[in-house]
Amino acid sequence: MRYISAVKRYRETFRNWGRVALARALNADRIRVVTRAGKEFVVDLRTAMSMASFHHALSQHFEGVDVEPERVSFVYKDRRVVFYGYRHGNIVEAFNDYLWLTASGRRVLDVGASIGDTAVAFALRGAKRVVAVEPYPFVFDYAKKNIEANGLSNVELVNAAVGEKDGTIKLSTEPTFSGTSLKESADGVEVPVYSLDSLIARYGSFDVLKIDCEGCEYNAVLNSERIAGIQELQIEYH
């Protein structure tokens, strides 16, 4: 059953879906894929499977999905949106899980920005300003690339962690994914840590707060004296 479902996804994603399905059955190392947009790539089998999975997931919510090994695009609010490093984020969640927050015309603090998918979503929903905070350098670099690729001038990225109080932490520069908890790395790079109150002092007041920081939420929220000034909050907690 799983193989049949995979073949259906290949058919949705690739013109040469039969060859891709055969490559999976033979456990091939490399495969030439031709996307529905007519683009050709030679990728490993895992990447081909990932492309098909993301194409399927995104197509349930967006029109005009065009998936490549490192880049995906789709139509949202009558414009084409682009994301690099999409496999390291969660675009469907970013565009759908925060819809009840009133972003239009408001100032948004996005804690746990990952590849910038939530920041892009808030900006395209009309946010006046988005300050997006992401500690891990690997996904932060993708966030920077995605903000630039989508031409968004109302998003400011901050490479920092959020915690109880200001300080620093050493974090790995290796690939990380959406949902990675904050873990110090002895051979990592030093990244600042800010409390919520410090972020508000640095960047001004906010109307909306989104937190998805894989465990930092308790120390951040419980030690903030200025959080009461934020009108809407959505917090993922553990």
The predicted model scores a pTM of: 0.94
Give residue 5's pLDDT: 87
Yes or no: say if 233 and 227 are a contact pair by the CB < 8 Å rule.
Answer: yes
Q: Which long-range contacts (CB under 8 A, 24 or more apart) does 33-42 make?
A: 35/66, 35/67, 35/68, 36/12, 36/66, 37/66, 39/66, 39/68, 41/68, 41/69
Tokens of 51: 């492309």
Q: How far apart are CA 178 and CA 40, in angstroms?
A: 28
| Tens of each residue's pLDDT in the chain, 238 residues | 676 888 899 999 999 999 999 999 999 999 999 999 999 999 999 999 999 999 999 999 999 999 999 999 999 999 999 999 999 999 999 999 999 999 999 999 999 999 999 999 999 999 999 999 999 999 999 999 999 999 999 999 999 999 999 999 999 999 887 677 788 888 899 999 999 999 999 999 999 999 999 889 999 999 999 999 999 999 999 8
Q: How far apart are CA 238 and CA 225, in angstroms?
A: 22
| Spatial CA neighbour of 103 closest among 76, 78, 125 | 125
All residues at 6 or more sequence positions from 29 whose CB lies less than 8 Å from its CB, including other chains:
44, 45
| Spatial CA neighbour of 236 closest among 124, 111, 127 | 111
All residues at 6 or more sequence positions from 202 whose CB lies less than 8 Å from its CB, including other chains:
194
All residues at 6 or more sequence positions from 199 whose CB lies less than 8 Å from its CB, including other chains:
109, 131, 133, 158, 162
Yes or no: say if 148 and 134 are a contact pair by the CB < 8 Å rule.
Answer: no
Give residue 159's pLDDT: 98
Q: How far apart are CA 218 and CA 216, in angstroms?
A: 6
